[in-house]
Amino acid sequence: MRISFAKPALDRTGALCVFVAEGGALSPAAERLDKATGGAIGRAMASSRFKGAHAATLTVLSPASVKASRIVLVGTGKPAALDAVAAQGLGGAIVAALGASADPSANIVADAVRDTPLKAADLAANVALGAVLRSYRFDKYRTREKSDDKPALKAVTVMTRDDAAARAAYGPMGKVAEGVFMTRDLVSEPANVIFPVSLAAKCRTLTKLGVKVQVLDEKQMAKLGMGSLLGVAQGSAQKPRLVAMRWDGAPKAKNRRPVAFIGKGVTFDTGGISIKPAANMEDMKWDMGGAGVVIGLMRALAARKAKVNAVGVVGLVENMPSSNAQRPGDVVTTMSGQTIEVINTDAEGRLVLADAMWWAQERFKPKAMIDLATLTGAIIIALGYHHAGLFANDDALADRLIAAGKAVGEPLWRMPLGPDYDRQVRSDIADMKNVGGRDGGSITAAQILQRFVQDGVAWAHLDIAGVTWATRDLPVVPKGGTAFGVRLLDRLVADNYE
């Protein structure tokens, strides 16, 4: 979708969108349009239930005396609550409202709203971002779709008196949106298209933006002693890969140690020998969601030229049942030297992350490390589909992550860690076993990961199993891959590490 900014004007063709505050108070642009159309807006509101609630819309078709094909009234809600996330919701609501229309363009008059925490330019930029994020569509495999079933909206112009400042504010936001779209594309692709080798090739495309990419194959990983990651991969015909993506945006920093982001990249997860039920197994194409977020984040950081040193590491495997597959009861030796008894081959993500995290620390010496994984169904039982689970060994890092999530509308909920949970993963024959029972399943998984965090490294684990895929449309996320985590981590970097 093309985004542009301009000075306010009401003589536009296409859809014309104006704001209405909670309680029905018209914005200045809406008032002018109401007069120009002989009171059509007032009459439409009087005959509807539209009262200006946040992100509510009301459409007036073919209004008289104006060039616009339709006027879309957009509720801004309470002014004090109109922050960046709420403003993005307005843009998303507009795109959703125009989804079935034939209008190729929309013009949004983003009048300044009194008593809101946002400046006029920031309001306009965030409305634009919300429109872009909601416009995403993964349709590359729909070969027979009728044109009438496709969205007609191709361009959005956001109008504000401070259009130059809005354009400048939107610049880095647009680059982050490109990273979000890359992640959504990756998690939406089927597993016969995205597998370890092909996903590593996607990582290599970031070199065009100045990202340094290193790819390890199975022989190199075996030489390093990555028995845990390789154990997961051994049942598949698809060969595993470990990829590091490095962005050196602050080469002259006093402390050049990077921030590290580690992603679980299980490109398809059957569960292995501990095979999953057939129902909904197709969803396991996005069990590489953590890796997808890391890849999209690295794209965003590089595209907006973030002044930070960051590295993204993704462990890429496919978990399949075969005559070569890992068995329950096997013991694997990780790169760290610690051993793991494999009780359930469907608890494979922690095995992949164990080696990926250890290698990232050995190779890059990060000052902080954050891993992301669609790790456990238990986190969905605990938090549903509304929050990601946060585990951390550092309170300051946890607080920064929570604040970043709140700022972009990707909420986290901190979960506990402690030695009592460690007892659940004791093994009779190895240093640990890879599951600790049904009770506290997401916590015991995090306890295992914590054993692969080196002394002095601030670490956080985000369990994104419940938020990686949306089963219904959300304010700025259409049904499908969400890319939850890209904007959150970009904001974390912007606020704390640049």
Domain boundaries, the chain: 2-160, 177-496
What is the pLDDT at residue 252?
86
What is the pLDDT at residue 45?
97
Average pLDDT rounded to a whole number, residues 24-32: 96
Which among 285, 350, 400, 451 is annotated as catalytic?
350
Q: Which of 35, 481, 125, 457 is nearest to 283 (CA)?
A: 481
Q: Does residue 246 contact residue 211 with C-beta atoms inside 8 Å? A: yes
Question: What's the CA gap between 410 and 422, in Å, rounded?
Answer: 29
Percent of the chain clearing pLDDT 90 (strictly above): 97
Domain 177-496 homologous superfamily, CATH: Zn peptidases (3.40.630.10)
Look up residue 445 and give its amino acid.
A
Question: What's the CA gap between 232 and 352, in Å, rounded?
Answer: 7
What is the pLDDT at residue 334?
98
**pLDDT bracket for residue 397 (50, 70, 90):** very high
pLDDT tens digits along 202-254: 999 999 999 999 999 999 999 999 999 999 999 999 999 999 999 999 998 88
Q: Which of 222, 223, 268, 265 is nearest to 244 (CA)?
A: 265
Q: Per-residue pLDDT for 133 more than 90? A: yes
Which among 276, 363, 367, 406 is annotated as catalytic?
276
What is the pLDDT at residue 149?
87
Distant-in-sequence, close-in-space partners of 465: CB < 8 Å, separation ≥ 6: 373, 374, 375, 376, 377, 379, 380
What's the mean pLDDT when you consider all of the chain? Answer: 97
The pTM of this model reads 0.97
- The answer to whether 134 is a known catalytic residue is no
Domain 2-160 homologous superfamily, CATH: Leucine Aminopeptidase, subunit E, domain 1 (3.40.220.10)
**pLDDT bracket for residue 255 (50, 70, 90):** confident
**pLDDT bracket for residue 182 (50, 70, 90):** very high
Q: Which of 272, 269, 263 is nearest to 243 (CA)?
A: 263
Question: What's the CA gap between 14 and 424, in Å, rounded?
Answer: 62
Angle between helices 196-204 and 289-303 (to 10 degrees): 10
What is the pLDDT at residue 111?
92
- The answer to whether 487 is a known catalytic residue is no
Phi-psi region of 68 (alpha: psi -120 to 50; beta: other; left: phi over 0): beta
